[in-house]
Amino acid sequence: MCRFVVYKGTSPVELSHLLTRPCHSIINQAFDSRLRLDRRRPMNGDGFGVGWYDSVYDEESYQPCIFTSITPAWNNVNLVRLAEKIKSPLVFGHVRATTAGSLSLDNCHPFVHGRLMFMHNGGIADFPLVKRKLQADLPDVAFNKVQGNTDSEWAFALFMSKLPDPSAKSFTTAMLRDAMFKTIASLNEYAEEAGITEPSLMNFCVTDGETVIATRYISSKTDEAASLWFSSGTTFSEFGGGGHYKMSKADKRENIIMVASEPLTFERADWMEIKTNNMVVVTPKMNLLQIPIVDKFYTPPSDPASLTRTTEFAREKGLLVPRNMEAMEGEELES
């Protein structure tokens, strides 16, 4: 299970305020993840990646910059140096814990095609059973883009195949949203055809530099998905020293929106949990929408079962499913 963070703002942020300085930054989550499903000691040391867009918008050349490494994020001095110098209005950060694919640069997230950037936390269950079918359904532009051997990158290729033109210079929010719905639906169809019963964890995130689409999803009607949170406000700044940050709201405007596998701060009021089997859409105008992913695995909020999703799958796999921020504050969770 990996960890990721997304920042979108009306003004550029110095990458260090997301990646290195907060006391629960994405680098710290690499060795001290508090809300990961995996019962093993929470290490995400199988490489990392950072993607960002230039502060100056140019439709002709607006493509993301990427820095990846197979070293642990907490032990890469170049990441610290870059984070202190680079500013961007849209940032993806990802620390990897291998579930599929070897330890190599080609397998480090985020993945890129044209102006698109994509990352994943989770895993496609029994992926070798559906891989050939997925590949057969891809157009050449998507099939030939894959360089690594992870289920995540093939999921990105599948996403690309759902767009009218994945190499386009611009996309509407609806295009990206609908492509994500279709990607999840296709993966579920492949699993059903292959007779796979183990749930897949599909926390996907994609952007074209303007719109951000993120999902918290599991192909189960009863189990909890991997954690995903969001925070929004007008300023995100350090207070009191020691890496303690706070999201402030000076008015009703949203100048900053962040989506993260785990909150970057310990301020409970700053973060809202995204419900299982929901999609978050951040529009170019900084509107945040939560949209249910309605399929056979969806449980509506009116159904009491939505509040009592069991952890049977997690228990069978030796996993924990934290349901609140108590684990963030160091409290022990009962298994």
| Known catalytic membership, residue 2 | yes
Residue where the block lists tokens 């509107």: 287
Per DSSP, the residues of 49-107 read EEEE--SS--TTT---EEEEESS-GGG-HHHHHHHTT-EEEEEEEEE---SSS-SSGGG
Which tokens is 31 given?
């060795």
Nearest to 206 by CA among 291, 140, 279: 279
Stated as kind and residue range, the H or E segment containing 213 is: strand 212-216
Q: CA angle, corner 114, sides to 109 and 119, nearest 5?
A: 20
Active-site residue among 2, 23, 65, 108?
Answer: 2
Nearest to 95 by CA among 54, 45, 42, 135: 45
Distance, in Å, from the CA atom of 247 to the CA atom of 235, rounded to the nearest integer, reads 6
| Strand, coil or helix: 51 | strand
Stated as kind and residue range, the H or E segment containing 50 is: strand 48-52
Tally of CB atoms within 10 A around 319: 19
Asked if residues 138 and 161 have their Cβ atoms less than 8 Å apart, the reply is yes
- Catalytic amino acids? 2
